[in-house]
Amino acid sequence: MFKKLSKLPIKALVILIIVVVLVIAIGITMIVTACLSDTNRLKYHLLDNDTYEVTDVKDTFRGGIFAKDTITVPAEYRGKKVTSIKTLNLQKTQNVIVSDGIEEIQLSAFYKSSVVSVQLPSSIKTIANNAFTGCMSLKEINLPDGLLSIGSATFKDCLELEQITLPASVKEISNNLFNGCLKLKSFNVPAGITSIGDSAFAGCEQLGQITIADTVTKIGASAFEGCKAVTSLALPSSLTSVGANIVKGCDSLTLNVNGNSKYLGNGTTSHLVLIEASPADVAQGEFRVSNDAIVIADGAFDSIKDDVQKIFIANVKSVGANTFKYTSINKTTSQLDYTDLPVLQQITLDDNNKEFVSINGVLLNKDATEFLCIPLATTELTIPETVTTFDPYLLKLSEYKLLERVIFDVTEGWTVRGNSVPATDLADPAKALTLVTDTYSKYVWKRG
């Protein structure tokens, strides 16, 4: 053999030696790498509280031949606790085991990683926004008891995720939490959950079964939009707020009808939530909400906005933030987006309705301290004595073209930007109109 090698040209012999050395070096490197602990495969940063956070996997071990199939995130590094995972951008590793003691998974920590399975410890308290967004291979993850919050879009576009269980310790399903989880087939919203966020299950095309506990009081806009496989959806009677388009694109879902208007309900009450009012149910400009309905969803009146002049409410306890044009329910937002009801003249309540007050067709909260809806076709607006603060700008009163008179039940003590408004002017409905819709239309009015 050596004689044969000695006959090789020097150049070929050199190349052969180099190749052998490289093979040996790679072999040794692979052996050393295989023996390297998971702790030393990661990067760390010491926090102000004298604990470490994992900042990422070292580049050498991110992908390729040196990446492990399974990696364990340690609870200790250099004698100090590891309490948080900031980033773990894995390109080949499929299984991640998070050690007990780690409390937080930070913003976008595993964003678009290669993980298939993630094992979380009972010490985890917080999972931040987008933590697992775009982990398209993720099939299995446990959410332990004691977990307190899961940020928005945490599992968005996890295309392989088929099932997941929320612990009782979580109280809210955040916006877009499972948006785009195409293979999610069923989901149980457990007791203790109080709200389901906007687009939380949007685009879950195979989601056929949804169970919602009676602790849920709010369902956000487009919560189940595009859930093509769902055939039934029972809403709890605990609801107080329902966003727009919650079942838009749910092609297999049959809504309950009252007349021609569409409702959702449960086994006890079929018409619990008004989803869509039908123009066919508007008679002589009037629309009556079902006596069984307790909530009106955002956008429910979109289809009748050009026809309805008067709306009758019997037992409704809550209206959506964008149910009526220029409702001040949504006044905390910087930009208002309202359903346009240009010819709406008044809202009339059933005598037994104790949730709201209607004064001359204007809807107020039950204590009559806050305006909820001033119909666009209102010609006379009364400011009752119970109202001590209102903002004409947020109520868009300057755009009420048909408004002719503003009547103040109490004319004394009103101030705008610290300046007193003359009671004599407020006593004159025509002058009061000018002050409210023009002179002081951009400022908060206060009394007392």
Task: Tell me how far apart the alpha carbons of residues 211 and 231 are, in angstroms, rounded to a whole number.
Answer: 12
Confidence class of residue 67 from pLDDT cuts 50, 70 and 90?
Answer: confident
Tokens of 203: 């685009």
Q: What pLDDT, on a 0 to 100 scale, did the predictor assign at position 26? A: 57
Q: What pLDDT, on a 0 to 100 scale, did the predictor assign at position 327? A: 36
Residue 298: alpha-carbon gap to chain centroid: 15
Mean pLDDT of the 280-296 span: 91
Residue 327: alpha-carbon gap to chain centroid: 21
Residue 114 has pLDDT above 90, yes or no: yes
Residue 338 has pLDDT above 50, yes or no: no
Q: What pLDDT, on a 0 to 100 scale, did the predictor assign at position 84? A: 97
Residue 366 has pLDDT above 90, yes or no: no
User: Higher-confidence residue: 391 or 250?
Assistant: 250
Residue 335 has pLDDT above 70, yes or no: no
- Percent of the chain clearing pLDDT 70 (strictly above): 86
Q: 103 with 85: CB under 8 angstroms? A: no
pLDDT digits (tens, 9 = 90+) for 177-201: 999 999 999 999 999 999 999 999 9
Task: Tell me how far apart the alpha carbons of residues 331 and 391 are, in angstroms, rounded to a whole number.
Answer: 9
Q: What pLDDT, on a 0 to 100 scale, did the predictor assign at position 333? A: 29
Q: What pLDDT, on a 0 to 100 scale, did the predictor assign at position 320? A: 64
Residue 337 has pLDDT above 60, yes or no: no
Residues 6+ apart with CB under 8 A from 367: 357, 386
User: Higher-confidence residue: 132 or 310?
Assistant: 132
Confidence class of residue 332 from pLDDT cuts 50, 70 and 90?
Answer: very low
Count Cα atoms within 13 angstroms, Cβ side, for 163. Answer: 3
Confidence class of residue 1 from pLDDT cuts 50, 70 and 90?
Answer: low
| Residue 383 bridge partners (DSSP) | 408
pLDDT digits (tens, 9 = 90+) for 215-242: 999 999 999 999 999 999 999 999 988 9
Sign for the pseudo-dihedral over CA of 385, 387, 388, 389: negative
Task: Tell me how far apart the alpha carbons of residues 349 and 381 are, in angstroms, rounded to a whole number.
Answer: 17
Task: Tell me how far apart the alpha carbons of residues 345 and 172 are, in angstroms, rounded to a whole number.
Answer: 38
Mean pLDDT of the 403-415 span: 94
Q: Which range scores top for mean pLDDT: 300-309, 372-381, 434-443?
A: 434-443
Give the lowest-confidence range in 64-68, 70-74, 132-136.
64-68
Please give the order of strands across the beta sheet that includes 389-390.
389-390, 445-447, 414-416, 419-420
Give the lowest-confidence range in 151-165, 260-274, 357-371, 409-423.
357-371
**Pick from 344, 424, 429: nearest CA to 380:** 429
Q: Which range scores top for mean pLDDT: 154-163, 309-318, 319-328, 375-384?
A: 154-163
User: Higher-confidence residue: 315 or 221?
Assistant: 221
Confidence class of residue 331 from pLDDT cuts 50, 70 and 90?
Answer: very low
pTM above 0.95, yes or no: no
Q: Interior CA angle at 43 toward 40 and 49, to 5°?
A: 110
Q: What pLDDT, on a 0 to 100 scale, did the predictor assign at position 309? A: 84
Backbone angles phi, psi at 179, to 5 degrees: -55, 125
Mean pLDDT of the 107-133 span: 97
Residue 5 has pLDDT above 80, yes or no: no
pLDDT digits (tens, 9 = 90+) for 141-185: 999 999 999 999 999 999 999 999 999 999 999 999 999 999 999
Ordered domains of the chain (ranges, CATH): 40-164 (3.80.10.10), 171-254 (3.80.10.10)
For the chain, give the mean pLDDT.
Answer: 87
Tokens of 152: 């928005």
Tokens of 222: 């487009």
Q: Interior CA angle at 417 toward 334 and 443, to 5°?
A: 35
Q: Could you please report the per-residue DSSP string of 257-317?
A: EETTEEEE--SS-TTSEEEE--GGG-BTTEEE--TT--EE-TTTTGGGTTT-SEEEESS--
Q: Is 384 left (phi over 0), alpha (psi -120 to 50) or beta?
A: beta
